[in-house]
Amino acid sequence: MIRILTLLAMLLPALVACSKSETVNIYSARQESLIKPLLDRFTSETGIEVNLVTGAGDALLARLSSEGRNSPADLLLTSDAGNLYRAQEAGVLQPAISAELEAAVPEHLRSPEGYWYGLSLRARVIVYARDRVNPDQLSSYQALAEPQWEGRICVRSSANIYNQSLVAGMLASEGVEATDQWLQGFVGNFARPPQGGDRDQIKAVAAGQCDVALVNSYYLGAMLQSPEPEERAAATRVELFWPNQEGRGTHVNISGAGVTQAAKHPEQARRLIEFLLREESQRWYAESNNEYPVRPGVAPSELLLSWGSFKADMINVSELGRLNAAAVMAMDRANWK
């Protein structure tokens, strides 16, 4: 009996270590319903348990920073390259590099240093009232600063990271002077003070409060498939337009993931990112979220295909984070509230 107890005592640390190694703890800014089924598949396939903590992106980053190396999180999953870049700059991520990750994610949709990788692609598009706007009037983001759009534009506030990244992309491609000039005209054409989220902008166009709005395309997809009749009705009153097809292409961004600096299970976290980038995962993710796959060769959903193909801006999305502070200052100069 003593020998058995001694043997168990010797094996216990190894058993605990093995148990701990088969876990991934995620801090996720994405809703549980949008990611949990894939995480369950990962566990079923690999035996690695996944613990999920959800919250707002800023709050999760603040939590990671305050927890430091004592953080239980192995993986940060969030939306917008601006947020991922902030996490990288805050020192809460570590590189996770593998041939599989580099093959799955185009170079412009991941951190050049391997700190984070895009999981899905979203586009910031123009939606317009089908009964009041001729699409021939539309062309680019820059053209929305023209006098014909005075009092006709709805958009959410400058505090929104999606808008900040849009302006950062313009700074990267057009420079400060041209971006400042565009912002002055664009803000001057607002139909109302910025308010609400992207769904609210679509509803405002449908209700006649404005004629065009800037939104992420997946919000329109979600409204078209909404269980709420009012949302579906509003979505059917608008159309989607791909801006800047004659120039640099439509502004795109990502949702993505990175292994935390404090990760106790970095190998398992990297395996989970690789799993989320497999073809079948990308296809499910795109179908469920109305976003585009980042992995080349994976077709989007039928709804997204119905919107047609588009030319996307090929700027490395890390630039959207690098220029975030400059974008916020430019928006302030234009009095974009």
Q: Is the dihedral of CA 38, 41, 43, 47 positive or negative?
A: negative
Please tell me the distance from the alpha carbon of residue 35 to that of residue 284, in angstroms, as a whole number: 10
Alpha helices in the chain (DSSP H): 2-21, 36-46, 57-67, 81-89, 99-104, 161-174, 176-188, 198-206, 217-224, 229-236, 266-276, 279-289, 302-306, 318-322, 324-333
Q: How many CB atoms lie within 10 A of CB 251?
A: 27
Please tell me the distance from the alpha carbon of residue 6 to that of residue 24, in angstroms, as a whole number: 31
Q: Output the six-digit token pair for 199.
A: 């769904």
Q: Is the dihedral of CA 243, 319, 31, 47 positive or negative?
A: positive
Angle at 261 between CA 277 and CA 13, to 5 degrees: 95
Task: Using alpha carbons, select from 106, 290, 109, 127 the residue that is nearest to residue 209.
Answer: 127
The three-state secondary structure class of 67 is: helix
231 φ, ψ (degrees, to nearest 5) = -65, -45
The three-state secondary structure class of 124 is: strand
Contacts of residue 21, defined as CB under 8 A and 6 or more positions apart, other chains included, come to 265, 268
Q: Consult the annotation and say whether 219 binds a ligand.
A: yes
Task: Using alpha carbons, select from 286, 203, 276 the residue that is nearest to residue 237.
Answer: 203
Q: Consult the annotation and say whether 285 binds a ligand.
A: no
303, 221 in Cβ contact below 8 A? yes
Question: Which segments are annotated as binding site?
Answer: 218-219
Question: Which segments are annotated as binding site for Fe cation?
Answer: 218-219
